[in-house]
Structure 1
Amino acid sequence: PAYVAADHVAPSRPGRVTGKVVDGRAVQLSWAAAHDARGVRSYAIQQGGVGIHVVGGAQTATVVTGLRPGTRYAFTVRAQDAAGNLSPASTPVRLTTPGADDHRGTTPTGFDVVSRHTAGSYYLDLSWDPPRVDGVITEYQIRLDGDTDSSLVWGGTPPAGRAHHSLYAGQKAGETHRVRLRARLPDGTWGGFSAERTVTTGH
């Protein structure tokens, strides 16, 4: 068989990206094709640096759905070749969907936190119902005591139904913590924060 050299060269940056609003939940994007010595396999649409949509390499336009009314977006396009090399991001297209964003439906609900003591350490056991949105939520931001943020990211498809996560809370009893969280929505933006819960270790 003929020897095929490994491909380490990324496609060129997609050019002339334009966009127009379709309605409060969709926009149309178009761009000039990127170039690659072995062909462009796909284009990734990103919003705020987060991948939200993928189309085939023969396409130079798409409609992005699942957006929220009254929300500012910054879309970029990156080309990918068969070897997985990603082009630089295109210049951003900034669009604002019409309507009012009331954040309803984007907030985790039924949020509950309990303290647990195991092997000399305290943990905060979190449970919540994910927001009901179009698409899958794979990332949450957990805010502890009003200032410390940690990310919770599921590698694959998260389990259906109620979500659970544990935070390490040290070895001292009687320490009070405040916790709330929010979801990274399928459109790449952050949803509203859950209600804040207060829990004391050892109680």
Structure 2
Amino acid sequence: MPVLCASLLLLTSCARGAVDDGGDGQPPRAPLGITAVAGSATSVHVMWTRLSGGPEITRYEVCRGTTKAGEVPGDEHMVDITRLEPSTTYVFTVRARSTGGVLGPASREARATTPAAAADDARAPSRPGRASGRAVGSRAVRLAWGRSTDDRGVASYDIYQGGSKIHSVGGGRTTAVITGLRAGRRYAFTVRARDAAGNLSPASAAVRLTTAPGSDDGRGTAPTRFRATAHRADGAYYLDLSWVPPDADSVVTEYRIHLDGQPATSLVWGGTVPRTTASYSFYVGREAGVTHRVRIRAKLPDGTWGGFSPERTVTTGG
């Protein structure tokens, strides 16, 4: 059972238990897309996808194991959890609280391991190399930059929009996809490197990008070359899917399949992750002549869901 985050005395604890409905309406849904990245030997950057629809959210509460570690207003979706121990693995969950005081269920767990401490390290990493980027449709951009150097190693890279930190990735990565942007807007992004001691490099040169006008429904972050067929085995019918993963800043390990307009199943690769063409088959029933509509979307490395692939129509026994 997942750890649930609850407001207790002094708002410092999380406990297992039922959802708090506050006696005032339905609770918010569990936040999706939670990710956790170590920012230094003593901090972890936690992100999630803001909830839309349903009750209005007044704040998000972040738990570290069974301890409440932080909270942010409902219009934010990230927080840096500090004062952690080096070389330690932590488990985080997030819960939403509505304006009526109703506390929703916990998100899935996200794990992060802090790097070893670097004693007496006052030297910041070098400025990241030349940064570049491109718009990915109307709602996202893809950034890339050159590696920074540090005498003790780079722990993470922080991405800023203007003067606000909006994303972090591990020190081994030099690309990021930033989603949730507005159509036809001009943005400026910079990147800073951070070492295990928390020292920050100077900012990279700004990358200025304009998202495409209009709405593309996130197609720029959708799987491509999506195909669907059906086959029969042992008296049952299965849908066989194949697709090319979206162009993200890292390998995509999780997908969600929608069947006939509803979420049907989620896929999480625990071993070797396909980088070129992915495939999957799943059971849809024993009746011939049934027509299904199917499409797929990917969870991007920043924790948000990308756009849907084109929808395909398949008839069993056809």
User: If the length of structure 1 is used for normalisation, what is the TM-score?
Assistant: 0.61
Q: Is the 8 A contact 1:142 1:151 kept in 2?
A: yes
Asked if 1:161 is matched to 2:276, the reply is yes
Q: Is the 8 A contact 1:16 1:31 kept in 2?
A: no
Alignment CA distance shift 1:119-1:71 (3 Å): same
Asked if 1:41 is matched to 2:88, the reply is yes
Asked if 1:201 is matched to 2:316, the reply is yes
Q: Is the 8 A contact 2:290 2:316 kept in 1?
A: yes
- The equivalent residue for 1:187 is 302
Q: Residue type matched to 1:194 in 2? A: S
- The equivalent residue for 2:117 is 58
* CA displacement, residues 141-187 of structure 1 (integer Å, 9 cap, x when unaligned): 00001024311111123133211000112111100000001001111
- The equivalent residue for 1:178 is 293
Alignment CA distance shift 1:149-1:40 (3 Å): same
CA distance in 2, matches of 1:126, 1:154: 15
Alignment CA distance shift 1:61-1:120 (3 Å): closer
Q: Is the 8 A contact 2:238 2:282 kept in 1?
A: yes
Q: Is the 8 A contact 1:114 1:199 kept in 2?
A: yes
Q: Is the 8 A contact 1:15 1:32 kept in 2?
A: no
Q: What residue ranges of structure 2 are gaps of 5+ in the alignment?
A: 1-64, 73-77, 95-106, 119-154, 159-167, 170-175, 183-208
CA distance in 2, matches of 1:40, 1:14: 18
Q: Structure 1: which 4+ aligned runs deviate by more than 2 Å?
A: 10-17, 28-32, 39-55, 57-63, 69-72, 98-105
3-state SS of paired residue (1:105): helix
Alignment CA distance shift 1:33-1:164 (3 Å): same
Asked if 1:115 is matched to 2:237, the reply is no
- The equivalent residue for 1:68 is 178
Number of residue pairs the alignment of both structures matches: 156
Q: Is the 8 A contact 1:117 1:123 kept in 2?
A: yes
CA distance in 1, matches of 2:84, 2:304: 27
- Map 1:10-25 to 2 at 5 A: none
Alignment CA distance shift 1:119-1:16 (3 Å): closer
Q: CA RMSD in A?
A: 3.7
Q: Is the 8 A contact 2:242 2:277 kept in 1?
A: yes
3-state SS of paired residue (1:187): coil
User: If the length of structure 2 is used for normalisation, what is the TM-score?
Assistant: 0.41
- The equivalent residue for 2:240 is 125
Q: What residue ranges of structure 1 are gaps of 5+ in the alignment?
A: 1-9, 18-27, 73-97
Q: Residue type matched to 1:174 in 2? A: G
1:69 CA displacement: 4.8
- The equivalent residue for 1:77 is none
Task: Give % identity.
Answer: 45
Q: Residue type matched to 1:41 in 2? A: T
CA distance in 2, matches of 1:165, 1:129: 12
